[in-house]
């Protein structure tokens, strides 16, 4: 049991100074004053002293198993570290494969997800990878979503020179399989679409919408901030009721671009239809105009926090609005609205205490203190 005293609570709506009580893995009470708890054996009391309490971050695009391989096996990127995830405020993640759907297998992906879940955060995975037809545990995406507990959707790639150049008709069939599996399993059954900078952009997706009855919410294109033209198409998709995802920058300049794109979406009335993910541990290859590999780096999961700081402290966006792409919006996409990405009675006890400069003071995941005073409290077996 954890009692946080005197926190400035953003749920993400601003609730003001409150005490927050967490019992087990759930949040049980938020009110202006909670007393008579000090005598409870084992209770942890945290005096927030006016610090901001926000929901834990949800990162729907994490290469938890590592990624890479473009250029050869020696360029494979490292696996996710629970200490790093927690120190960046990520309490819920969705793991997926990237370009390599062979050397990086779904079997290893789900085992990594189970390990991270055991260590202290909530993790789901997507079946599929860059290729089409998709790699799968069974012989269909529908079966994967229905029969495997942690699988909540499928990943594919589009308009990228490394993809299978999926067509509109193929995208319809893939989305229908994912939707049917989701309906049968009580899961979101969505399609994450890695977007490259290819000339087709979102055209196959618009074709799928125009030539099928698949709900627009099933499609979740990501990396939509890659170019101005692609982002403009994303605005058109949101106009049709869809949701888009943009990738938090791997450096300060990119985070500024991400923040400015978010502001564009906010000002257009799409604050509830845009999410931000980090692409953490995925490879970030650099190709020249001839599509030749000229460099390689990989992402880390601090882009969400860095983008939030820019929005609130440099662009003067209200905290309750700035938090949406990192909390309530992704919670809705992964089918956990009112459970994740919010602070309310019976929601999961995942939250972050921010200090006066929006640095992370404390992280609570699954009702346990995971990060405190600059140090990770939880860690993997070999960390």
DSSP result, 49-87 = TT-EEEEPEEEEEE-TT----TT-GGGPPPPP-HHHHHH
Per-residue confidence band for 296, with pLDDT thresholds at 50, 70 and 90: low
pLDDT at 362: 97
Q: CATH number for the domain including 347?
A: 2.30.40.10
**254 — pLDDT class (breaks 50, 70, 90):** confident
Tokens of 85: 């995830």
Residues 6 or more apart from 290 whose CB is under 8 A from it? none
Instruction: Indicate whether 260 and 191 sit together in one domain.
Output: yes
What is the domain extent for residue 256?
56-333
Q: How confident is the model at residue 37 (pLDDT cuts 50, 70, 90)?
A: confident
How many Cβ atoms are within 10 Å of 100's Cβ, its own excluded? 22
Measuring CA to CA, which residue among 55, 43, 68 is closest to residue 340? 55
Q: Are residues 247 and 349 in the same domain?
A: no
Preceding amide of 116 cis, omega within 30: no
For residues 174 and 294, membership in a common domain is answered with yes
Residues 163 and 285 in one domain: yes
CATH of the domain at 137: 3.20.20.140
Residue 74 structure tokens? 């020696």
Residue at 382 is within a domain: no
Based on the fold, state whether residues 294 and 259 are members of the same structural domain.
Answer: yes
Residue 381 forms part of a structural domain: no
Cα–Cα distance measured from residue 85 to residue 299, given in angstroms and rounded to the nearest whole number: 12
> Same structural domain for residues 210 and 312?
yes
Residues 208 and 286 in one domain: yes
C-beta separation of 121 from 93 below 8 A: yes
Match 């190709």 to its residue by tokens. Answer: 287
Across 42-68, average pLDDT: 92
Number of domains present in the structure of the chain: 2
Domain shared by 22 and 108, yes or no: no
- What pLDDT is recorded for position 39? 78
Q: How many CB atoms lie within 10 A of CB 300?
A: 17
CB of 77 closer than 8 Å to CB of 298 = yes
Tokens found for residue 88: 């960046």
Tell me which residue of 330, 331, 352, 351 sits closest to 340, measured CA to CA: 331
Q: Taking phi first (over 0 means left), then psi (-120 to 50 degrees means alpha), and beta for anything else, what does residue 287 get? A: beta
| pLDDT averaged over every residue in the chain | 93
Residues 41 and 139 in one domain: no
Judged by DSSP in three states, 134 sits in: coil
φ, ψ of residue 2 in degrees (nearest 5) = -130, 135
Q: Are 25 and 38 in contact (CB under 8 A)?
A: no
- List pLDDT tens digits, range 186-227: 999 999 999 999 999 999 999 999 999 999 999 999 999 999
Above 70 in pLDDT, residue 293?
A: no
Q: How far is residue 327's CA from residue 341's CA, in Å, rounded to a whole number?
A: 4
Residues written for the chain: 383
383 in a domain, yes or no?
no
Model pTM score: 0.95
Instruction: Spell out a b/e string for 125-148, using b for 16 or more CB atoms within 10 Å of the CB, else e.
Output: bbbbbbbbebbbbeebbbbbbbeb
What pLDDT, in 10s, does the model give residues 269-279?
A: 999 999 999 99
Model confidence band, residue 241 (pLDDT cutoffs 50, 70, 90): very high
Q: Give yes or no: residues 310 and 184 share one domain.
A: yes
Q: Are residues 63 and 25 both part of a single domain?
A: no
Active-site residue 279, yes or no? yes
Q: Is the distance from CB of 223 to CB of 246 less than 8 angstroms?
A: yes
296 within 8 A of 70, measured Cβ to Cβ: yes
For 108, the token pair is 């290893």
SS3 376: strand
- Nearest Cα neighbor of 130 from 153, 151, 156 is 156
Q: Is the pLDDT of residue 285 over 70?
A: no
Contact yes or no for 367/22 (Cβ under 8 A): yes
Q: Count Cα atoms within 13 angstroms, Cβ side, for 36.
A: 0
Q: Is residue 167 one of the residues assigned to a domain?
A: yes
Tell me the two tokens of residue 15.
Answer: 């609730």
43/78 same-domain check:
no
Choose the catalytic residue: 279, 302, 348, 350: 279
Identify the residue whose tokens are 């089918």. Answer: 335
């Amino acid at each position: 049991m954890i009692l946080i005293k005197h926190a400035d609570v953003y749920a993400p709506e601003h609730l003001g100074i409150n005490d927050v009580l967490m019992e087990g893995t759930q949040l049980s009470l938020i009110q202006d004053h909670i007393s008579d708890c000090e005598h409870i054996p084992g209770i942890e009391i945290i005096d927030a002293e006016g610090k901001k309490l926000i929901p834990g971050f949800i990162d729907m695009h994490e290469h938890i198993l590592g990624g890479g391989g473009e250029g050869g096996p020696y360029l494979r990127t490292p696996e996710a570290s629970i200490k790093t995830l927690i120190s960046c405020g990520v309490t819920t993640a969705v793991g997926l494969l990237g370009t390599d759907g062979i050397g990086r297998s779904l079997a290893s992906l789900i085992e990594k997800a189970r390990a991270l879940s055991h260590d202290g955060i909530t993790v789901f995975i997507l079946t599929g990878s860059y290729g089409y037809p998709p790699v799968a545990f069974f012989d269909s995406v529908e079966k994967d979503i229905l029969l495997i507990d942690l699988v909540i959707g499928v990943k594919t790639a589009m308009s990228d020179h490394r993809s299978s150049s999926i067509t509109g008709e193929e995208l319809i069939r893939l989305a229908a399989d994912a939707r049917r599996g989701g309906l049968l399993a009580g899961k979101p059954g969505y399609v994450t679409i890695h977007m490259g900078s290819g000339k087709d952009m979102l055209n196959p997706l618009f074709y799928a919408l125009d030539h099928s009855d698949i709900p627009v919410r099933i499609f979740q294109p990501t990396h939509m901030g890659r170019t101005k033209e692609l982002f403009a198409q994303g605005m058109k998709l949101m106009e049709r009721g869809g949701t888009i995802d943009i990738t938090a920058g791997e450096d300060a300049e990119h985070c500024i671009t991400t923040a400015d794109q978010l502001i564009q979406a906010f000002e257009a009335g799409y604050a509830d239809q845009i999410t931000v993910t980090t692409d953490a541990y995925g490879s970030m290859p650099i190709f020249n105009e001839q599509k030749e590999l000229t460099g390689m780096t990989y992402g880390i999961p601090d882009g969400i926090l860095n983008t939030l700081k820019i929005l609130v402290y440099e662009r003067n966006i209200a905290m309750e609005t700035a938090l949406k792409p990192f909390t309530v919006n992704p919670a809705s996409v992964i089918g956990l609205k009112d459970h994740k990405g919010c602070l309310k009675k019976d929601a999961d006890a995942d939250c972050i205490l921010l200090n006066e400069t929006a640095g992370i003071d404390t992280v609570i995941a699954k009702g346990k203190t995971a990060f405190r005073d600059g140090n990770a409290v939880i860690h993997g077996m070999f960390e």
